[in-house]
Amino acid sequence: MLHRFSDGATIQQRGQHKPGLSIIAEGSVQLSATDAEGERTSYTVLRPGDCFGEMTLLLDIPRTLDATALGETAIREVPRDRFFRLLDDQPALRDHLLVGLARQLSQALQLLDDQRRLPAEVRMAKALAALARTEGEGHVVRASQTALAEAIATSRVTAGKALQALAADGLAETAYGRVLIPDIARLKAWIAGHSALAPVANFGGA
């Protein structure tokens, strides 16, 4: 069954009993969690073809993270019993599931490292590059400033300042409900130049 969500809408909440697998058909989804003090941590942003709910599917437990729509989003829900029937008929799905889990873990670790190490402007640029979709001859991110703030785990004010800084550098153009990317290759090159890890110091060891 296909479900549609508007920008910023809650798709699932941590602790919700929602058996089955959720597959992104359109749009993007942010996975996050909020601690007892109300501090939100963003773990990853998923794109069309990605799925979530694997832990619920495999371990039969409640959903472990909050999921929020970034832009207009469509989710296809596959019931647990149907998924396992498909798995019996198409063993390649098992490999696809494992690859998806590994990719999500890698993205989550990268995002946590970004939050610790990179300024908001660079984190925003990385989010825009990940969420950009080709429209005509350009690239567009269809998400509100609030949703983008959620995606990089910061306040709306800080997100706004980050977007303004990118706009001042000619890397982005803000409009109502969307961000235009004039040159996606230039944006990615800028990100590479501002987010590289520092070289490991050579102390004479191996």
Judge if 112 and 123 occupy the same domain: no
Is-contact 80 19, C-beta < 8 A? yes
Kindly give the interhelix angle for 184-195 and 120-131, rounded to the nearest 10 degrees: 140
pLDDT in the model for residue 203: 37
Judge if 96 and 145 occupy the same domain: no
pTM: 0.61
Residues 69 and 48: their CA atoms lie apart, in Å, by 12
> Predicted confidence band at 108 (pLDDT cuts at 50, 70, 90)?
confident
Q: What is the pLDDT of residues 24-69, one digit of tens each?
A: 999 999 888 877 677 777 778 888 988 899 888 888 889 989 999 9
Residue 57 lies in a domain: yes
H/E run at residue 71: strand 66-78
> Predicted confidence band at 196 (pLDDT cuts at 50, 70, 90)?
low
Judge if 81 and 57 occupy the same domain: yes
Task: Give the range among 126-130, 189-193, 199-203 with minimum mean pLDDT.
Answer: 199-203
CATH number (domain holding residue 104): 2.60.120.10
Residue 95 sits at φ, ψ, to 5 deg, of: -65, -40
Residue 203 lies in a domain: no
Segment 94-120 mean pLDDT: 78
Judge if 70 and 108 occupy the same domain: yes
> Predicted confidence band at 205 (pLDDT cuts at 50, 70, 90)?
very low
Containing structural domain, residue 179: 118-195
- Residue that wins the pLDDT comparison between 161 and 107: 161
CA separation, residue 132 to residues 43, 56, 103, 165, 183 (Å): 19, 29, 19, 18, 11
Residue after which a domain boundary falls, among 70, 86, 116: 116
